[in-house]
Amino acid sequence: MSETLAIVLAAVVAGTPLLYAALGELITERAGILNLGVEGMMVIGAIAGFAAVYYSGNLWLGVLAAGASGGLLALAFGVLAISLRVNHVAAGLALTIFGISLGSYVGKPLVGQSLSLSEVQLSGGLTSLPLIGPLFREVHPLIWLSWLVFAGIWFFLARSRAGLVLRSVGESTASADALGYPVMRIQYLATVFGGVMAGVAGVFISVVYTSIWTEGIVAGRGWIAVALVIFATWRPGRCLVGAYLFGGMTMAELLGQVIGLGVPTELLSATPYLATVIVLVLISRKDSTMRLSVPASLGKSLDIKG
């Protein structure tokens, strides 16, 4: 039982940064904005959060720094894509290149540095509960926070009027503008929220998952997060499942290396990314599913009053 629990927890830990980033991108795309700069925002969040924790020893200060830096980068993207009507794909790719390059430059003094921060754990009477007690003792608070974020986003999109307005903007920007909704403001807020979540995803990788800074630490997880939104057909519940599935694949790769399957390590390392490509190909073949799920105004720049 303990071994099974350890495997499940390992998959959850590996999938948590994907969950944060995918949920943020989900909200952004639901507002009609296609931001392919998730990888760059995660890198910036990773180095900003790592540096804050390294110099202060405070986990939550690192989370704040990571979220703020990711949000600022997303705001810059918003100026290009929303206000200046720059092509979303081009702006997103530029954001990724800029974020990776800036993170590499800023992080050079910290390369190879590790954290000795004692993990903040949820404790109290919950840890003594039978069966589920170990969960409250072993699970990192940022994982609990990811579940709270997921619950909040699910409720926001499915049960709130504000979520309905956001979805209406993504479905028809022109119609939402004609109804008097502040379309540009909504899109900016959704874009910045996506950046904040990407930043938190980055600090989870650098502070919790690895606890050491090195270049290339995000390793393409931002692109997997973007693919997860498509895999989830823009639904938060499927984002949760998909994030942990890909997290499990990452753990399976490491397990295969440990037990010596005789498979080249390069192929095992590529497994999550190969799975991403396969999933996208399979989903894209279902035209009806894509047409019914994708926000109709996604990636389109329209002339609106704002």
Burial of residue 291 (number of CB atoms within 10 Å: 0-12, 13-18, 19+): exposed
8 A C-beta contact, residue 12 and residue 143: yes
8 A C-beta contact, residue 186 and residue 306: no
8 A C-beta contact, residue 29 and residue 295: yes
| pTM score of the predicted model | 0.90
Predicted pLDDT at 128: 60
In degrees, to the nearest 5, what angle opens at C-alpha 285 toward C-alphas 280 and 286? 105
Predicted pLDDT at 32: 94
Predicted pLDDT at 119: 46
8 A C-beta contact, residue 275 and residue 249: yes
CATH top class, domain 2-114+126-293: mainly alpha
Tell me which residues of the chain have a pLDDT lower than 50.
1, 119-123, 306
Q: Hey, what are 215's tokens?
A: 């270049």
Angstrom distance (rounded) from CA 170 to CA 294: 9
- Only one residue has tokens 């949760």, namely 240
Predicted pLDDT at 273: 77
pLDDT tens for each residue of 248-295: 887 776 666 556 666 666 676 777 777 777 877 777 676 666 666 789
Angstrom distance (rounded) from CA 90 to CA 37: 10
Predicted pLDDT at 87: 93
User: What is the three-class DSSP state of 298?
Assistant: coil
Angstrom distance (rounded) from CA 253 to CA 236: 26
Q: Hey, what are 243's tokens?
A: 């994030």
Predicted pLDDT at 282: 75
DSSP string, 74-138: HHHHHIIIIIS---HHHHHHHHHHHHHHHHHHHTGGGTT-B--PPPP---SGGGGSTTTHHHHHH
Q: Which residues pair with 114 in a beta bridge?
A: 212
Contacts of 124-132 with C-beta under 8 Å, sequence gap 24+, read none
Residue of 44, 14, 28 whose CA lies nearest to 200: 44
Predicted pLDDT at 277: 79
